[in-house]
Amino acid sequence: MWVVAHRGASGHAPENTMAAFRRAADMGARFIETDLHLTRDARVVAIHDSTLDRTTTGHGLVHLRSLEEVRALDAGAWFGSRSAESFAGERVPTLEEILQFAKERDVIFYLEIKSDSAWGVEHAVVAALRDSGEAARVIILSFDPATIESVHRLDSTMMTGYLCEDPSNDLVERSVRAGARQIVPRGDLVTPALVEKAHRAGLQVVAWTINEPGQMQQLIAAGVDGIMSDYPDRLVSALRKT
Ligand code: G3P
Ligand code: CA
């Protein structure tokens, strides 16, 4: 069972920051999920929203700012009210920093290419992965089958996962058609029958985003291969009890 820290250990530290990634690895997560957007100068950065406002001291669209402008912002101070610890001074990570961290801590990153990213993000991500030599340490995720197909056209060796949040009978077929190796459904869509069907089609199943230990136990019993959680420590504890 894979413990996947959602946006890092985002229940404990500001999402999608190096502090959240370090916390996740320290808690025993061997997998970390993060979200990608493109800057004005075509650099790939880890941030969930298409705008800077919620999680940084900046404003406006990420793709209208240069990397230098984005890196000047504070991405940790906003978390202050949720923690006694101060995370002020955290920056929006670059994909290069993330890949270096993955190598140093021997973790795998789920890289979600956000559907509202700027045009060309797939090219920038694949190029950065090739330059790093660490492409084997990532699984590219998207809600959009066209994005997964586009990644495969650029590099057929990339491992990909299809994110699903709409109840449908053909999730497995859609994942296979897109060329994904994993199906990554919202937790409430997972049933033992879906897991069995996915496994028969050669797909691994990773559910998101599960923070309640009871729901973790249900998904483990359903046979999923991995679970994403904002609290990887809770998942590690749940797994010890099984
Ligand atoms: O990658 C799974 C999950 O992260 C998708 O939702 O909004 O947290 O990116 P969101
Ligand atoms: Ca995500």
The predicted-structure confidence for 112-121, as pLDDT tens digits, reads as follows 999 998 889 9
The predicted structure's pLDDT at residue 201: 98
Helix H segments across the chain?
A: 18-26, 67-71, 95-105, 121-132, 145-154, 171-178, 192-200, 213-222, 232-240
Residue 59 a catalytic site member? no
User: What's the mean pLDDT in 18-47?
Assistant: 98
pLDDT in tens, 178-209: 999 999 999 999 999 999 999 999 999 999 99
Q: Which atom of ligand 1 is nearest to the CA of 110?
A: 1
Domains of the chain, earliest start first = 2-49+95-240 (3.20.20.190)
CA 95 to ligand 2 center in whole angstroms:
15
The candidate with the shortest Cα–Cα distance to 224, out of 234, 233, 215, is 215
Rounded CA separation 230/176 (Å): 28
Q: Is the CB of 122 under 6 A from ligand 1?
A: no
The answer, yes or no, to whether any atom of ligand 1 lies below 6 A from the CB of 230, is no
- Check pocket membership of 15 for ligand 1, CB cut-off 6 A: no
* Stated pTM of the model: 0.97
- Give the three-class secondary structure for 226: strand
> Among the atoms of ligand 1, which is closest to the Cα of residue 112?
1
pLDDT of residue 5: 98
**CA-closest residue to ligand 1 atom 1:** 112
- For the stretch 150-167, pLDDT in tens is 999 999 999 999 999 988
Residue nearest ligand 1's atom 7 by CA = 48
pLDDT band for position 143 (cuts 50, 70, 90): very high
pLDDT of residue 182: 98
Residue range 54-109, pLDDT digits in tens: 999 999 999 999 999 999 999 999 998 888 899 999 999 999 999 999 999 999 99
Average pLDDT of the chain? Answer: 96
Q: In the prediction, which pLDDT does 169 show? A: 82
C-alpha span between 161 and 138 (Å, rounded): 11
Å from CA of 187 to ligand 2 middle: 14
